[in-house]
Each structure stands twice: as C-alpha cells, then as structure tokens.
C-alpha cells in the first residue's frame, strides 16, 4: 500500500532535523517526498547509516508510483513517461504529461528527412510562461532494410532528441541500436512473433521496449510478464489504436482497463501506454486536412485517457497546437496555481516617464495584461504581486492582495516610485479599486484606478496618461 501524506513518510525518516537535505525539518522533507520534488537519496543519514537500510528500502517501495516510470532518450531532452498514482487528476495530480513523437521514415530523401527532424526539434510555442515543445522523433522502417534504417537513425541522432525505433524486424532494430549507441531509444515493438529476439535486444542494449498485442489484453499481459520475469523492466504497452468505428471504442476501453488495473495494484500490467493517433492516416481518409483533423481528435481522446506517449504525423499548426495545448492543460498540477515570479517586469523600453502598473502573479492574469500592453506598444513597468497564484478579484476578496502586499512587492523589487519615475503614480487593476485609498496611504503615491479589463488599457492610457499634476 502506498503512502500519500507527509506524516506517513516522516515515520521512515531519521527525525533528527539535521538539515543535510536542504530542509529545516524532516517533516518539511517528507512533504517534498510526497509531492516528488525531493528524493530519498537527498537524505544523507538515510543513505549512509546502515541502521536505516530497512526503512530506506521500505520507504522507496511505498513512494514508488503505481505506474512504472520509463525514461526515453538521454541528456537534457530525455523524457519521462508513466509514473502516475491516480485515475483522476483531482485526487492528486497527473505526472509526466503525454509525450509526443512525430514520425519520419527511412525511405525519405536525406534533405527532406533532416528538414523534418529539425522542424520537430525546433518546435516551440510560448504558453502561459513556458515553452511547449515536441518531445521526439519516431523513425519508421518502411524499407525493412537494416542498412537504410541505420543511415536514417544516424542522421536523426545528430539532432539530439529522443527517438522511437519502429519495426517488427529484430535485425532492423539492432541496426538502429548499433547506429545510436547510448541514445536510449524506445523499441517498437515486440509481439507474439518476435518477442524473444526483441526482448534480447532490450536486455543487451538496456533500452525500453514496447510490448504489442492488438486488441488482445490477455496476450499483452502474458508478454509483459514474460519480459518482466526475464529482467526487462522498462516496458511500454501497446494494446492497439484503431482509428474509427467499433475498433476505436475497443481501443479506448482497453486503455481504461489497463490503467485501472495498474492503479488498483496489478503490477503485471502497471506500465505506461503507447497511443498511435497516426493510424488516422491509414483509415482511408484521402484528404490530408481531414486526416490531420482526425489524428488530432484521436490524440485528444488518448491524452485525456491515459496515453503516456504517442506517435503522430501531421506537423501542421492546426494539428500540433491543439495537441500540445491540451496535454499541457490536462497535466497542470491542480494543487498549485500556475504563477510567475513576483517582481517588477519591463514591458517594452520604459523610462522615467512611463506608467507603472501592478497585477497578481497568477500566470494567466499576468500574461494577459502583459500581452495587452506589449501588443499595443505601451512601454511601462508591470509589477507582479505575490498572491499565491490567485487572480485579482479572488485575491482582493480573500486578502491575498492588499495594500501592504503591494507595498512589500515594491520594496522587494527595489523599485522606488519617487526616484525611478518622475510622476510618483501607480495604476491599480479596476477589480482592485477598493484598495485605492489604502494604497495611497501605504505608498505615498498617487493611485489611478485602471479598467476592469486589461484589454481596455490602450483607451485608458489615451485619456489618463500622462497624469495631471
């Protein structure tokens, strides 16, 4: 049985409050273990002293996620899949968002192959304070030729992003592994026909492997247990991804059954699941736009329901943007509001005559305000006040945004309204209008009440800036 509270984890710690883990108390460290921001190896007494050996082993077992965590790739761009403990996000959170690999083939011309791989590797979309990326490349062996596959792998590996090797031919997979030693690719796939040879490759090269049994959960579980018993631990499951009709319904049901069984304690099937939305291109849809649309719809279905890694094809923005945005949204931690650092930001190139505004550090609020200002060419200073990631209206009502908090934020930012600008004026959000009097008293500055919606800031500035003396 797993442990889910700091108090339960605390029982297994030295309870000396030595501080060697970087935390003031063992209870604080226990909290980090529960939310996975800390590891047992950070507690040096627990690691070094033999008297804690049994407690360490038991604690590691109790903290291990229900679904095994598997790593694909190496270095900074290596990705983790699996690692979840719950069926529903509101019960804790989902860890390790769905990883998206886009395909190339070993029959592509060299220039086209390199261009597509670079497009995949360089994809970047700024979204609420972070860059959304595509995670890796799936190299499909269309030729079934080990030499051609090896050449394609060499070209892709030069870019340095995680890879999936796709072939049912063990000789082809081996050629790819020889071409990219130490790259830790994911092998796709072992099935009832080639399981012995592919399993041996996974053991020899110490790489993760996909076990595949299309719409046959009994065979899938049997193959998985065989691999596990043989010493292959980093396994990914492929129950099949049908693109339409009853087959798609069966695929959806199989994903649910596998994940539910894993979370409920069936360790023989508690592994990450691979989804294949790119099968939309094999469903008989001739129009590429329609195929892209259906691929995106399939990606949405299996992102929401337990697809830990998926292989896709279309790189069109109307396909990729919904896919990466949905994954980011589903895997946002509901326990922690998304927030920016509490500090003074410069929008554009402000000077001593530029306006000074503040808002909360809730990321969605901050980036909405910042976007409305920058897109309209308003050079200004924008202070993000620490409200624990809560929006303006709720923070004012709940006491997270007060005149004292705003004054404290100005002081911590090192910004002085009396010396850094020549107007000693600050603009408050319209939803925080009730703070105007207190702010004037605390800051010793003139306070203008801005609009209720930051989209109206350009019109507000035209009428009210510069402020009247």
- 1 assigned to some structural domain: no
CA atoms of 360 and 75, how far apart (whole Å): 35
Same domain, residue pair 56 and 75: no
CA atoms of 366 and 77, how far apart (whole Å): 28
Same domain, residue pair 195 and 86: yes
Query: How much is the pLDDT for 1?
Result: 62
Same domain, residue pair 213 and 238: yes
Binding positions for 5-methoxybenzimidazolylcob(I)amide are 359, 365, 389-392, 454
- 337 assigned to some structural domain: no
- 338 assigned to some structural domain: no
Binding positions are 18, 21, 26, 43, 359, 365, 389-392, 454
Same domain, residue pair 176 and 131: yes
Residue that finishes a domain, picked among 331, 359, 383: 331
Same domain, residue pair 143 and 49: no
Same domain, residue pair 235 and 357: no
Same domain, residue pair 210 and 85: yes
Q: What residues of the chain score a pLDDT lower than 70?
A: 1
Query: How is residue 284 written in tokens?
Result: 């008989």
Binding positions for [4Fe-4S] cluster are 18, 21, 26, 43
Q: Which domain holds residue 321?
A: 67-331
Query: How much is the pLDDT for 134?
Result: 97
Same domain, residue pair 182 and 312: yes
268-305 pLDDT tens trace: 999 999 999 999 999 888 899 999 999 999 999 999 99
346-368 burial: b if 16+ Cβ within 10 Å, else e = ebeebeeebbbbbbbbbbbbbbb
Paired sense of beta strands 209-212 and 274-275, if any? unpaired
DSSP letter, residue 62: H
CATH for 431: 3.40.50.11600
Phi, psi angles (nearest 5°) of residue 70: -125, 140
4-59 pLDDT tens trace: 788 999 999 999 999 889 899 999 999 899 888 888 999 998 998 888 899 999 99
């Amino acid at each position: 049985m797993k442990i889910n509270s700091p108090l339960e984890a605390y029982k297994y710690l030295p309870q000396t409050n030595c501080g060697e883990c970087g935390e003031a108390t063992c209870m604080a460290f226990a909290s980090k273990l529960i939310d996975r921001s800390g590891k047992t190896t950070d507690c040096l007494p627990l690691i070094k002293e033999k008297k804690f050996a049994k407690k360490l082993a038991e604690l590691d077992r109790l903290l291990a996620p229900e679904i095994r965590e598997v790593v694909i790739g190496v270095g900074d761009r290596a990705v983790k899949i699996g690692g979840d403990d719950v069926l529903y996000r509101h019960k804790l959170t989902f860890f390790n968002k769905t990883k998206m690999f886009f395909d190339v083939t070993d029959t592509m011309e060299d220039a086209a192959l390199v261009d597509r791989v670079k497009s995949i590797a360089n994809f970047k979309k700024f979204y609420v304070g972070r860059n959304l990326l595509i995670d890796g490349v799936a190299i499909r062996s269309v030729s079934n030729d080990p030499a051609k596959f090896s050449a394609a792998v060499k070209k892709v590996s030069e870019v340095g992003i995680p890879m999936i090797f796709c072939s049912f031919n063990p000789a082809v997979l081996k050629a790819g592994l020889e071409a990219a030693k130490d790259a830790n690719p994911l092998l796709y796939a072992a099935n009832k026909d080639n399981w012995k040879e592919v399993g041996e490759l996974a053991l020899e090269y110490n790489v993760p492997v996909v076990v595949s049994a299309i719409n046959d959960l009994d065979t899938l579980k049997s193959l998985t247990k065989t691999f596990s018993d043989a010493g292959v631990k980093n396994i990914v499951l492929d129950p099949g991804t049908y693109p339409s009709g009853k087959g798609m319904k069966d695929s959806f049901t199989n994903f649910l059954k596998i994940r539910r069984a894993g979370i409920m304690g069936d360790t023989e099937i508690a592994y990450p699941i691979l989804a294949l939305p790119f099968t939309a291109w094999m469903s008989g849809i001739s129009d590429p736009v329609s195929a892209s649309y259906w691929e995106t719809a399939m990606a949405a279905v299996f992102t929401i329901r337990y697809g830990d890694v998926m292989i896709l094809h279309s790189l069109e923005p109307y396909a990729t943007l919904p896919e990466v945005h949905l994954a980011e949204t589903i895997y946002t931690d509901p326990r922690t509001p998304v927030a920016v650092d509490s500090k003074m930001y410069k929008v554009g190139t402000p000077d001593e005559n530029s306006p000074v505004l503040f808002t909360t550090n809730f990321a969605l609020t901050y980036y909405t305000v910042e976007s409305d200002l920058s897109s309209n060419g308003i050079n200004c200073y924008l202070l993000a006040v620490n409200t624990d990631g809560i929006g303006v209206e709720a923070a004012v009502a709940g006491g997270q945004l007060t005149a004292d908090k705003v004054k404290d934020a100005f002081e911590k930012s090192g910004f002085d309204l009396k010396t850094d600008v020549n107007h000693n004026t600050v603009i408050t959000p319209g939803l925080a209008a009730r703070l105007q009097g207190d702010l004037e008293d605390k800051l010793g500055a003139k306070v203008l009440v801005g609009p209720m919606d930051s989209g109206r800031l350009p019109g507000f500035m035209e009428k009210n800036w510069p402020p009247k003396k």
